[in-house]
Amino acid sequence: MNEPVVHIIDDDESVRKSLRWLIESVGLKVNCYASANAFVETSIDASPGCMVLDVRMPGMSGLDLQEKLNKSDLPLPVIIVTGHADVPMAIRALKSGAFDFIEKPYNDQHLLDRVQDAISHSTQSLSADAEKQEAQRRIDSLTPRERQVLQLVTEGCANKQIASQLDLSIKTVETHRANLMSKMQANSLPALIKLVMSAEE
């Protein structure tokens, strides 16, 4: 997986620069953007990471950007920073899925902790995604008959029951079962069931 990136979006150049300085001090990679539009126009790869937004910016505001991001499938948690913490704004941010809401002036350790939390959250969801996709890919590679057998196997049926349900000989069922185990790259029944469950999540 790629190195995590912290995306900083703030219209004030010195705040932007100083945040980069602070966050780079703990060895994280940082990208800066002068406006929400500049961020939207840049193509972001699927690296893990998080975003630090100023809530009040000319053009698209931080909250607008966050709502826009929710509609895309970029798994980037958003930390909103503001000098104008008022209750309605905080509620709106958290409701629309902000990871956290930090008020200026803030404690640097608190900010860095939240950034780290957000990154690990993003990493997890990315790897869960990858796992799910891989399991799905393997299931897709099965033939329709193998998929029927898989369905019955995961329901806990023995080969004999499967054979009678599908009107096949036990020998044929065994062959299908061996094929699907190897296609699913599962060496045991529990491993197989785990794979199927992760695809269904």
Partner 1 sequence: MILRAAIIILSAACSWYAAPALAKAGNPEAQTVRIGVLAFRGASKAHQRWDHVANYLSQQISGHQFSIDTFDLIGMDEAVRQKQIDFVLTNPGNYVRLESLFGATRITTLSNLYHGKPYTLYGAVILTRADNKDIRELPDLAGRSFMAVSENAFGGFQMAWYELHQQGIDPFHDFSRLEFNGFPQDRIVMAIKNGEVDAGTVRAETFSRMIEERRIRAEDFTILNPRTDENYPFPHSTRLYPEWAFAKLNHTDEMLAQQVAVALLTFRENTRHSIQSSTGWTIPLDYSRVHETFRVLKIGPYANTGKITLGGIWGQYHLWIIAGMLFILIIMITTAYVIRINRRLTSSQIELHDQIKVRKQAEAQLAQHTDMLEEIVEERTRELKSVNLELENDIQVRKNIEEILRSSDAALRKLYEITSGTGVSFDKKVDSLLRFGCECFHLPRAQLLKFEQGAFNVIKQCPENESHPSSTETGFCFGVPVKVREKVDGAICFIGDADIPPTLSSVDRDILQLIAQWLGGEIERIAAEEKAREHRSQLAHVSRLGTMGEMASGLAHELNQPLTAIANFTRGCIRRLQKNDPDLPAILSAMDYSVREAERAAEIIKRLRNFVSKGELSRSMTSINDTVRMVLELSANEISRYAIAVELDLDESLPEILADHIQIEQVVLNLLRNSIESIQAIAQTRTINIRTSHDSQTITVTLRDNGPGIDEHTRENLFHPFFTTKKQGMGLGLSISRSIIEAHGGQLTVSDATIPGCAFSFTLPTNNNHVEHDDE
Q: Where are the beta strands (DSSP E) in the chain?
A: 5-9, 29-33, 49-54, 78-82, 100-103
Per CB under 8 A, contacts with partner 1 among 1-40 are 12, 14-15, 17-19, 21-22, 24-26
CB-wise, 108 or 200, nearer to partner 1? 108
Total Cβ atoms within 10 A of residue 116? 15
Q: How far is CA 144 from the centre of its chain?
A: 31
Rounded CA gap, 132 and 17, in Å? 38
Rounded CA gap, 42 and 30, in Å? 14
* 200 counts as binding partner 1 under rule CB under 8 A: no
CB-wise, 19 or 65, nearer to partner 1? 19
Rounded CA gap, 162 and 152, in Å? 7
Nearest alpha carbon to residue 79 among 100, 104, 107: 100
Least Å distance between CB 56 and partner 1? 7
Least Å distance between CB 99 and partner 1? 20
Binding mask 73-112 for partner 1 (x = CB under 8 A): ----------xx-------------------xxx-x----
Least Å distance between CB 169 and partner 1? 54
Binding mask 114-133 for partner 1 (x = CB under 8 A): --------------------
Q: Compute the C-alpha angle 72/125/46, nearest 5°.
A: 55
CB-wise, 26 or 158, nearer to partner 1? 26
Q: Provide the binding-site residues for partner 1, judged by CB under 8 A.
A: 12, 14-15, 17-19, 21-22, 24-26, 56, 58-59, 83-84, 104-106, 108
